[in-house]
């Protein structure tokens, strides 16, 4: 299996529970970034779900962190090139 595909598979397997959230109720009438959004996350190994509430800005920051982490993993070099004096 290609190393890049393996890395992507691992990232998606780790982030799968984060992708399976369902938005619940939400608006408390404040500014858009301060709006509370509750999502239900499926717990691994059980049929019960956990309710997680964060502001819209917090959800967006978390999504941005996940995108950056995925980009770093995908952009890692797959082949290490060594010179005559060895590898760095």
- 22-23, strands of its sheet edge to edge: 22-23, 36-42, 49-55
To 5 degrees, how large is the angle CA 2–CA 3–CA 8? 100
C-alpha separations of 78 from 2, 38, 88 in Å = 10, 39, 15
Neighbours of 37 (CB within 10 A): 19
Per-residue tens of pLDDT for the chain, all 88 residues: 555 665 655 555 565 555 445 555 544 455 677 899 999 999 889 999 999 999 999 999 999 999 999 999 998 877 777 888 877 6
DSSP one-letter code for 41? E
pLDDT reported for residue 61: 96
């Amino acid at each position: 299996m290609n190393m890049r595909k393996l890395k992507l598979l691992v990232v998606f397997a780790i982030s799968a529970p984060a992708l399976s959230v369902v938005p619940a109720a939400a608006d408390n009438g404040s500014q858009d970034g301060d709006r509370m959004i509750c999502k239900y996350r499926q717990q691994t190994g059980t049929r019960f779900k956990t309710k997680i509430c964060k502001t819209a800005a917090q959800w967006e920051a978390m999504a941005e962190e996940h995108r950056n982490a995925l980009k770093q993993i995908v952009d890692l070099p797959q082949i290490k090139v060594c010179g005559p004096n060895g590898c760095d």
